[in-house]
Amino acid sequence: MQLQPYATTGQKIWHYTFLTIAGGGLLFLVLPILVIIPLSFNSTSFLSYPLSGFSFRWYEEVFTSDVWVNAIQNSLMIGAASAFFATVLGTLAAMGLTRTDFRGKGAVNALLVSPMIVPIVISALGLYFFFAELGLNATYTGLILAHTALGAPFVVITVTATLQGFDNNMIRAAASLGANPVTVFFTVVLPLILPGVVSGALFAFATSFDEVVVVLFSAGPEQRTLPRQMFDGIKENITPAIMAAATLLIVFAFALLTVLEYLRRRSEKLNGAS
Amino acid sequence: MDQAPALTASQSDVLPQEENGLPLKVKLRRAERMKKIRAMALIAPLFIFTLLIFAIPIGIMLVRSIDNPEVVSYLPNTKVELDKWSGEGMPPQTLTAIFATDLVQAYHDKTAATVGKRLNYDVSGMRSLIMRTARKFKSHVPVDATLDTFVKADKRWKQEKYWNALKRASGSLTPFYLLSAVDKKIDDKGDIVNVSEGQAIYVNIFWRTIWIAGVVTVISLLLGFPIAYLLANTSSKVSNTLMFCVLLPFWTSLLVRTSAWVVLLQKNGIVNSSLMNLGLIDEPLTLLFARPGVYIGFIHLLLPFVILPLYSVMKSISPGYMRAAESLGAHPAVAFVRVYLPQTLPGIGAGGVLAFILAIGYYITPALIGGPQDQMLSYFIANHANSTLNWGLASALGMILLGSTLILFTIYNRLTGASGVKMG
């Protein structure tokens, strides 16, 4: 993006206009997120600048009030459980999908990733009807099942991508040395595809942690999650407590991004080595 | 003649016979089959799970959009008589007699209200008509009720349209909800006609959904293109830092981003107060609960989805092409339009279609940032499912949204499948 020393005035104007638009776009992306962080430390309940004073009172509210604590616990629990099931199911399926070709593989693949494509309102409506028949509305089981289905495609995609660079001779070598398939998986395959599995698990966790539409349709008051709590808050009365919760989620997103970037690099390194 | 045994000998060298006597070809095929079975066994758990927890629920939704159980299950004898009746003129006495007893039974079973609600979707006022008649009949159950008995209970029964509605609702399947979702209905003559102007809203909402999604997709592409270009053409150190500005919003919760915009766009919010301090406006703009807010919130959500595929495509375009074009005398603008732009088309297509698919399906952002005039299909699906409890109509609108998404996804698949555009 260097401006050539021989650039004409027109080219210079164009170059700086372009930089302004691109830079403005990047600021548009990141500023709204950064700007709400200080508001969560405001000592009064006004959501505008300048701040009236510094205070942790909104964080105190988030960490001590029953509603918020319960919502955070629910989100963590449902997220962890659905990420676990999605990771197990998704990793197995990805291994099956990369191992061999068979007729109808395209259709199977399409079904497995379809929860990612279908608008969430439609999945939520179908699940609401389905759970009503089974008595699973307003239960933790229902939400965990639903979030597992929504998160599994991400695991399938990340693990499949990692397995593309996997050398199948390593499985044969381990097996020829007498290891049974389970040992081969845990001592040879898993360590090598771990970056993909962990990214998939994080994707699945983030999907559940951010999901609100299925929760709106199917959850009862007991299963109120963090996004649901925020949804109601934004709808009724937006307070700095919501900004405090939002800030915590931004920190979470930042951590997630860092870990995923680390895993991506590590995976590239592993693939390069093999 | 001498050669035949020699050939067999050499063949047996190439294809050694094992003790069990099976040729290698058969064994290989068998091993391949085992491998396939093992692979399928690995896929099976998630396949069955997705079928159960995802495909079947959507199947139920599809069935709900044509399901018509109310009259069939709660007025079962009436249904039999309704099938016999041609639906022309006034109902015969056999029908009215059975309808009266069924109605009283339904009133005692507390299902009359459900039937009334269903009929009310078709002809408004029918819920109260059914309930009022049932209440009148329950004290003295009319024996061999005639049309007059009904008219005595409520004068409205004199009108053919109420009997026609009953007849229309007597099938176990109905096109009623699907027709309602496209602002059509079956009239008393059995023809498909437009619903009255005041009730026709869904076609309008469909086009509004497409319009909003189209506008935000185009703006996202226009804004995303220079950003992706900048990312793809700076040193990797700068590009990594800038990439953070794209990925942080991408990974930040939808609710966080939506709440940020609610705070920023308020009447006394940061955007309005900044613009007023800069002297650009004299009084605050209405951004929240209005169309501009919806556009802004959507573009913020969709930009990363547009930037990432564009970036992936632009990364693979060699700068040599542009240099070659310019060295051959093309004006930079001409070189850009005729050489660079065509090479980014797969990225523009993939990012654009993806953004459009996401935009027509989002629920949270328009629900929280938009006003009543900015709500899209998703909102009405959720509203009918959770507030008005008109599940048939919610499902029918869901069918329209699902159909549109699948068509778009097929296009998306063609675009990405052919060119191998990747996300991130």
3-state secondary structure B123-135: CCCHHHHHHHHHH
User: For B22, left (φ over 0), alpha (ψ -120 to 50), or beta?
Assistant: beta
Domain match, B142 and B36 both: no
Counting other chains too, the contacts that B122-126 makes at CB distance below 8 Å and 24 or more residues apart are: B122/B165, B122/B168, B122/B169, B122/B176, B122/B185, B123/B161, B123/B162, B123/B165, B125/B156, B126/B162, B126/B165
Q: Rounded to whole angstroms, how far apart are CA atoms B248 and A158? A: 19
Q: What chain B residue is nearest to A120 in terms of C-alpha separation?
A: B361
Q: Is A56 inside any structural domain?
A: no
**Which tokens hold the place of A148?**
């597992």
pLDDT of residue B9: 46
Is the pLDDT assigned to residue B422 strictly greater than 70? Answer: no
Domain match, B297 and B333 both: yes
Cβ–Cβ below 8 Å for B46 and A249: no
Task: For residue B19, name the pLDDT band (cuts at 50, 70, 90).
Answer: low
Please give the distance of CA B289 from its chain centroid, rounded to a whole number.
23
Nearest-by-Cβ selection for A120 from B263, B361, B394: B361
Q: Rounded to whole angstroms, how far apart are CA atoms A15 and B197? A: 53
pLDDT of residue B18: 53
State the CATH number of the domain containing residue B353: 1.10.3720.10
Domain match, B362 and B216 both: yes
Q: Look at residues A177, A202, A199 and name the one whose alpha carbon lies nearest to residue A187.
A: A177
Residue range of the domain that includes A99? 66-273
Q: Which of A29, A42, A148, A231 to mutate to test the interface with B (most CBs of B within 10 A)?
A: A29
Nearest-by-Cβ selection for A25 from B43, B223, B401: B223
Domain match, B58 and B124 both: no
Nearest-by-Cβ selection for B54 from A33, A49, A123: A123
Nearest-by-Cβ selection for A212 from B41, B255, B303: B255
How many beta carbons lie within 10 A of that of residue A218, not counting itself? 23
Q: How far off is chain A from B1, nearest CA to CA, in Å?
A: 44
Is the pLDDT assigned to residue B191 strictly greater than 90? Answer: no
Q: Rounded to whole angstroms, how far apart are CA atoms A26 and B245? A: 6
User: Do residues B189 and B161 lie in contact, with contact meaning Cβ atoms separated by under 8 Å?
Assistant: no
Domain match, B295 and B214 both: yes
pLDDT of residue A14: 86
Q: What chain A residue is nearest to B289 in terms of C-alpha separation?
A: A235
Q: Is B271 inside any structural domain?
A: yes
**Which tokens hold the place of B143?**
């024996």
Contacts B385 to A, Cβ<8 Å: 125, 128, 217
Q: How far off is chain B from A91, nearest CA to CA, in Å?
A: 9
Domain match, B408 and B358 both: yes
Cβ–Cβ below 8 Å for A146 and B254: no
Q: Is B14 inside any structural domain?
A: no
Nearest-by-Cβ selection for B368 from A130, A234, A243: A234
Domain match, B242 and B361 both: yes
Q: Is B186 inside any structural domain?
A: no
Q: Is A52 inside any structural domain?
A: no
Cβ–Cβ below 8 Å for A257 and B248: yes
Q: Is B235 inside any structural domain?
A: yes
Is the pLDDT assigned to residue B187 strictly greater than 90? Answer: no
Q: Look at residues B185, B188, B193, B156 and name the one whose alpha carbon lies nearest to residue B88.
A: B188
State the CATH number of the domain containing residue A154: 1.10.3720.10
Domain match, B299 and B344 both: yes
Nearest-by-Cβ selection for B227 from A25, A124, A213: A25
ipTM, two decimals, is 0.90
Domain match, B262 and B137 both: no
How does pLDDT run across B66-122, given as a tens digit for each residue? 999 999 999 999 999 899 888 888 899 889 999 999 999 999 999 999 999 999 999
pLDDT of residue A49: 78
Q: How many domains does chain B have?
A: 3
How does pLDDT run across A202-250, given as a tens digit for each residue? 999 999 999 999 999 999 999 999 999 999 999 888 889 999 999 999 9
Q: What chain A residue is nearest to B265 in terms of C-alpha separation?
A: A32
Beta bridge partners of A54: A42
Residue B43's Cβ-count burial label (10 Å; 0-12, 13-18, 19+) is buried
How does pLDDT run across A135-162, given as a tens digit for each residue? 999 999 999 999 999 999 999 999 998 8
Domain match, B212 and B329 both: yes
Q: Look at residues B213, B203, B208, B214 and name the one whose alpha carbon lies nearest to residue B396.
A: B203
- The length of chain A in residues reads 274
Residue range of the domain that includes B137? 70-174
Q: What chain A residue is nearest to B366 in terms of C-alpha separation?
A: A235
Q: Is A19 inside any structural domain?
A: no
Q: How far off is chain A from B163, nearest CA to CA, in Å?
A: 31
pLDDT of residue A107: 87
**Which tokens hold the place of B209?**
């959904």
Average confidence score pLDDT of chain A: 90
State the angle between helix axes of A57-64 and A66-99 in degrees (0 to 180), rounded to the nearest 10.
70
User: Do residues A144 and A82 lie in contact, with contact meaning Cβ atoms separated by under 8 Å?
Assistant: yes
The parts of chain A modelled with pLDDT lower than 50 are 274
> Pick from B42, B64, B86: which residue ends a domain?
B64
pLDDT of residue A243: 92
Q: Look at residues B416, B354, B357 and name the one whose alpha carbon lies nearest to residue B224.
A: B354
Q: Which of A122, A205, A226 to mutate to test the interface with B (most CBs of B within 10 A)?
A: A122
Cβ–Cβ below 8 Å for A32 and B234: no
Q: Is A72 inside any structural domain?
A: yes
Q: Is B13 inside any structural domain?
A: no
Q: What chain A residue is nearest to B385 in terms of C-alpha separation?
A: A125
How many beta carbons lie within 10 A of that of residue B80, not counting itself? 13
> Pick from B48, B64, B80: which residue ends a domain?
B64
Q: Is A33 inside any structural domain?
A: no
pLDDT of residue B7: 45
- The residues, any chain, with a CB within 8 Å of residue B228's CB and separated by 6 or more, are B306, B307, B310, B311, B314, B347
- Strand positions, DSSP E, B269-319: none
Q: How far off is chain A from B36, nearest CA to CA, in Å?
A: 6
Q: How far off is chain A from B229, nearest CA to CA, in Å?
A: 8
Q: How many domains does chain A have?
A: 1
Cβ–Cβ below 8 Å for B300 and A231: no
Contacts B330 to A, Cβ<8 Å: none
Domain match, B371 and B389 both: yes
Task: For residue B20, name the pLDDT band (cuts at 50, 70, 90).
Answer: low
Q: Is A30 inside any structural domain?
A: no
Q: Is B184 inside any structural domain?
A: no
pTM score, whole prediction: 0.88
Q: Is B17 inside any structural domain?
A: no
> Count of A–B CB contacts within 8 Å?
259
Task: For residue B367, name the pLDDT band (cuts at 50, 70, 90).
Answer: very high
Q: Is B368 inside any structural domain?
A: yes
pLDDT of residue B390: 93
Q: Rounded to whole angstroms, how far apart are CA atoms A158 and A164? A: 10
Nearest-by-Cβ selection for A249 from B32, B42, B253: B253
User: Do residues B257 and B264 lie in contact, with contact meaning Cβ atoms separated by under 8 Å?
Assistant: no
Cβ–Cβ below 8 Å for B45 and A257: no
Cβ–Cβ below 8 Å for B60 and A129: yes
Domain match, B102 and B153 both: yes
Kindly state the percentage of chain B with pLDDT values over 90: 55
User: Do residues A125 and A214 lie in contact, with contact meaning Cβ atoms separated by under 8 Å?
Assistant: no
Q: Is A28 inside any structural domain?
A: no
Q: What chain A residue is nearest to B398 in terms of C-alpha separation?
A: A122
How does pLDDT run across B223-257, given as a tens digit for each residue? 999 999 999 998 888 988 899 899 999 999 999 99
